[in-house]
Amino acid sequence: MLEIKNLHVKLEEEDKQILKGVDLTVEAGKVHAIMGPNGSGKSTLSYVLSGKDGYEVTEGTATLDGEDILEMEPEERAAAGLFLAFQYPVEIPGVGNMTFLRTAVNAQRKARGEDEISASDFLKLVRERAASLEIDADMLKRPVNVGFSGGEKKRNEILQMAMLEPKMCILDETDSGLDVDAMKLVAHGVNALRDQGRGFLVITHYQRLLDHIKPDVVHIMSNGRIIKTGGPELALEVEKNGYADMKAEVA
């Protein structure tokens, strides 16, 4: 599904190399987690995959189902089935949450050559999915993320994901800022979407999220590279010992 090979990325504005040869394959049906020290390049990887400006790929490739995503515009990547839940969700004043969701869903349907979803079907779906994330009707009417609490913004990201049903979901520290109950809701939202055709890349600092979203594979990123890959036990090792030993192994 998502195949990243030898990805090197630098900042466009300054000569600073951030990703220094990332190799990572997320198979359909699998949940991969990425952990790693602050500043190791985890968010940069998610930004580069989703097409944020300001980064230059100097070497390597990234494909989704064999298609080169790095050559695509951000909206083409989304239409191809890529989704990023932001670490810092943005507020969009003047755009109603419901309108935003419906426009996004229909834009993707159009890109796939499908008809628009009917207003009644959309309403039924959005109410059902919002309820499962305990997002109330009032939040659906408000402008996107404006005045939402940190946790509400994160749940709203998961609602977008649930509505768009992407093939490849990237979650960048979606658990940060969530209280224990909200984290369970988010995990439930992710688990409800888990199926054989969908892959997940979950960036997190905390093992506790992975208690609820059981990963198949855990990667450790440090200094722009994946330095270690293993099973869920790797996250427990990080929780217990931090990153010092792993960094020393590759030094």
Ligand X SMILES: Nc1ncnc2c1ncn2[C@@H]1O[C@H](COP(=O)(O)OP(=O)(O)OP(=O)(O)O)[C@@H](O)[C@H]1O
Nearer to ligand X among residue 152 and residue 173 (C-beta): 173
| Least separation in angstroms between CB 11 and ligand X | 5
Compute φ and ψ for 116, nearest 5 degrees.
-65, 150
Tokens of 175: 């658990």
| Least separation in angstroms between CB 38 and ligand X | 3
Compute φ and ψ for 82, nearest 5 degrees.
-95, 140
Three-class SS of residue 164? helix
| Least separation in angstroms between CB 115 and ligand X | 39
| Least separation in angstroms between CB 141 and ligand X | 32
Nearer to ligand X among residue 34 and residue 190 (C-beta): 34
Candidates 113, 153, 116, 147; CA nearest to 133 is 153
Residue 212 near residue 187 (C-beta atoms within 8 A): yes
Compute φ and ψ for 175, nearest 5 degrees.
-80, -15
| Least separation in angstroms between CB 188 and ligand X | 24
Rounded CA gap, 223 and 234, in Å? Answer: 18
In the DSSP assignment, the letter for residue 87 is S
Residue 48 near residue 83 (C-beta atoms within 8 A): no
Nearer to ligand X among residue 50 and residue 106 (C-beta): 50
Nearer to ligand X among residue 88 and residue 245 (C-beta): 88
| Least separation in angstroms between CB 180 and ligand X | 21
Binding residues for ligand X (CB under 6 A) = 11, 16, 18, 36, 38-44, 54
In the DSSP assignment, the letter for residue 19 is E
Nearer to ligand X among residue 51 and residue 81 (C-beta): 51
Rounded CA gap, 66 and 162, in Å? Answer: 24
Nearer to ligand X among residue 13 and residue 195 (C-beta): 13
